[in-house]
Chain A
Amino acid sequence: MTALRQATEVVDPVPGASAPHLPQQPDLVQLLTPEGERVEQPDYSLDISDEELRSLYRDLALVRRWDVEATALQRQGELGIWASLLGQEAAQVGAGRALADGDMAFPTYREHGVAWARGVDPLDVMSLFRGVDNGGWDPVARRFNLYTIVIGAQCLHATGYAMGVQRDGSEDAVLAFLGDGATSQGEVNEAMVFAASFAAPVVFFCQNNQYAISVPLERQTRIPLYQRAAGFGFPGVRVDGNDVLAVLAVTRAALQAAREGQGPTFIEAFTYRMGAHTTSDDPTRYRLASELEEWKLRDPIARLKAHLSRDGIADAAFFESVDAEGDELAARIRTGTVEMPDPAPSSMFEHVYAEQTPPLAAQQAEFEAYHASFEGGVER
């Protein structure tokens, strides 16, 4: 029996490493301690080269640098809003790097780290938060769906896509992202019912960052989230979401099980949103500073850095080179964002339909004529 198949048992009703008054959380898959020591997990062994380890570090560091720059750009009025991934880099990069080329990922609106792992240009994400479009990347080419803002809706899309994969007789797998709050949504539960019934090759990757904006996990669930999976009839596993190696190993195993026809898995990546929900949020109203300080000790990047340094996998020159690369990336993001042109006004009429309707075409023509009546006219 693999770890993914093991029976789950109900334990402490409200788990949380962040909550010292609660019993210690069970069954947390961890390959790297917060101090950067490798731990063996026979069910999730990870054979990884030094080069891959350095490249994971690079991803984590660059994604955080992007996030910092985006937050700054929002503060300077260059973005309408920004949903920070601070603290969730390992969960996202680990999951994103577990995907095979043909696999399809369905993000929420915070998966910048997965976007990065899928080769999406950060500027194509910035354009969404600047209000230029709804995401500039090609979801088909990048195998990374557009951000979905209605909470949980994408879990059904992922499941349906996986049902299509089954009908194609393909070995692709599908990765659906969701948060702890989304587990309360009816559509997410329907997705799990469909996925289980049809044994669809989909993995539900839940980043439990402890808060749905301001509402803590306790309001969403009275059992550990990963144990919900048992009720749907498929395995659930909890992984240390701040441990990029564990996330990579657990997600790879789940995707492989899906590929082999074993159906869905629910992964609870136990993590913490170190920043605000978005730049419009004020977390000081609903959580204690001490909680954040506690989680800083489990920082996903510091832990990998400690491991690389401790085991002599990377030296100071390497870390300096990543920092320099981060600064270059930030500069490119800043320039690219600030110089991003506004969309042409008339473009809102385009792509409403594959075949535009005569009434909409008439409305577009009226709009363009109205604009053209002003000096200078309108650019199409």
Chain B
Amino acid sequence: MTETLTIGKALNLGLRRAMEDDAKVVLMGEDIGKLGGVFRITDGLQKDFGEDRVVDTPLAEAGILGTAVGLAMRGYRPVCEIQFDGFVFPAYNQIVTQVAKIHARSKGRVAMPIVIRIPMGGGIGAVEHHSESPEAYFAHTAGLKVVAVSNPVDAYWGIQQAIAHPDPIVFLEPKRRYWEKAEVDTSATPDPLFGSRVVRGGDDVTLLAYGPMVKTALQAAQAAADEGRSIEVIDLRTVSPLDLDPVFESVRRTGRCVVVHEAPTTLGLGAEIAARVTETCFHSLEAPVLRVGGYDTPYPPSKLEEEYLPDLDRVLDAVDRAMGF
């Protein structure tokens, strides 16, 4: 059965399916009940599943994650909504020192099937702390997995796969793309959660992106095609673990690689990817791996965010530089 869904609605439907499939799934967060969340991702779920399964928590992010740990220990599968990316840091201690470590600490006796949903990234004209890209902090932490969806199909299936998965997952949602639509076949067999995907074939440059930047990368590839350049775009889909085999295969053909993300460039995911591509594809490379990212500044006031965020022109500029070697 195929429906046209926005990313937001696909997440809502995916959460609903997960709650129907497993009575141990409990949603927790600020304003997720009657209000349905500030982005309405949990709209209608408390009405249908009750206050014990869709929990409006006190306003305390460490409290949300810490109590989720206890619920997981008792056999529940908590799905925590962090209202905005910049508000995850009060919960950072629980995520890094507890959620990520308890499976190893207990030698596998205690699982932590917790999903941490975070609306990620900028471009919505918001105030400070509402536009950040914290993925590298989590990708650097052993014990966590980090997923960054880019489209309604992956949103619908990915949230269900994440909830069913036995390890803790930071599930990053591209907030400025919540309203983007696509056809979702809800009876299809989904792709695995932890895999990258070639979303546009090409021969000249391999362009990598995840989350909100996938659309930007595809737009850049189209613009480049109009100028006669063939760009292969890969949606990484998962930030940790990285699935780089399709990337290596692509770079061996194109000899050139550009990585795009909104997060600050220094020590961002692009740095790790550049190192891995260089180690693995050294003899195939015609140019150094180039990064296009946010600058190493705090996320700026919104009147400047278009300068800060990678856009089509900055991506094409990097493509030009890669081709120039």
A→B interface (CB under 8 Å): 133-135, 138-140, 145-146, 148, 150, 153, 155-168, 186-187, 190-191, 193-194, 197, 350-355, 357-360
Contacts and interface: CB of A to CB of B under 8 A. Distances in A.
Contacts of A360: 142, 241
Contacts of A167: 26, 52, 76
B109 A140 contact: yes
A216 to B, nearest CB: 25
Nearest to B73: A161
B248 to A, nearest CB: 13
**SS class of chain A's interface: helix, strand, loop or mixed?**
helix
Contact of A157 (B70, B104, B107): B70
B260 interface: no
Interface stretch (B55-63, B204-212, B222-230, B311-319): B55-63
Interface string B46-77: 00000010000110101101111111111110
A358 B241 contact: yes
Given A193-B63, A352-B104, 5 more contacts: A138-B109, A139-B110, A153-B93, A163-B70, A354-B103
Contacts of B62: 156, 186-187, 190
Interface in B240-293: 240-243
Contacts of A353: 103, 143, 145, 167
B66 A352 contact: no
Which of B52, B60, B67, B107 has the most CB atoms of chain A within a 10 A radius of its CB? B67
A354 B75 contact: no
B169 to A, nearest CB: 11
Given A139-B106, A186-B62, A168 B74 contact: yes
A355 B67 contact: no
A150 B104 contact: no
B219 interface: no
A194 B63 contact: yes
Contact of A351 (B58, B67, B103, B165): B103
A239 B38 CA distance: 45
22 contacts: A134-B104, A138-B109, A139-B109, A153-B98, A156-B63, A156-B65, A160-B74, A164-B70, A164-B71, A167-B52, A187-B66, A187-B93, A187-B94, A193-B63, A352-B103, A352-B142, A353-B145, A354-B111, A354-B166, A355-B165, A358-B241, A360-B142
Closest 6 CB pairs of A and B: A156-B66, A160-B70, A164-B74, A160-B67, A161-B70, A190-B63
B174 to A, nearest CB: 23
Contacts of A135: 105
Contacts of B4: none
A153 B94 contact: yes
Interface residues of B, number: 46
B27 to A, nearest CB: 13
B194 interface: yes
A359 B275 CA distance: 14
Interface of B: 26, 52, 57-58, 60, 62-63, 65-76, 78, 90, 93-94, 97-98, 102-111, 142-143, 145, 165-167, 194, 240-243
Given A161-B73, A165-B74, A191 B66 contact: yes
Given A157-B69, A193-B60, A150 B93 contact: yes
A103 to B, nearest CB: 12
A166 B78 CA distance: 15
Contacts of B103: 351-354
Contacts of A156: 62-63, 65-67, 69-70, 94
A358 B111 CA distance: 19
Given A160-B73, A194-B58, A353-B143, A140 B67 contact: no
Contacts of A190: 58, 60, 62-63, 66
A146 B112 CA distance: 14
A137 B29 CA distance: 33
Contacts of A350: 107-108
B238 to A, nearest CB: 9
A355 B67 CA distance: 23
Contact of B67 (A133, A139, A163, A357): A163
A49 to B, nearest CB: 34
Contacts of A145: 73
Contacts of B111: 354
A191 B63 CA distance: 6
Nearest to B60: A190
A155 B110 CA distance: 17
A146 B70 contact: no
B93 A159 contact: no
B246 to A, nearest CB: 13
Contacts of A163: 67, 70-71
A235 B94 CA distance: 27
A157 to B, nearest CB: 4
Contacts of A197: 58
Nearest to B105: A134
Contacts of B167: 353-355
B70 to A, nearest CB: 2
A352 B36 CA distance: 34
Nearest to B238: A357
Nearest to B108: A351
A158 B111 CA distance: 16
A84 to B, nearest CB: 22
Nearest to B242: A359
Given A194-B57, A354-B103, A354-B166, A159 B67 contact: yes
A193 B26 CA distance: 19
A367 to B, nearest CB: 14
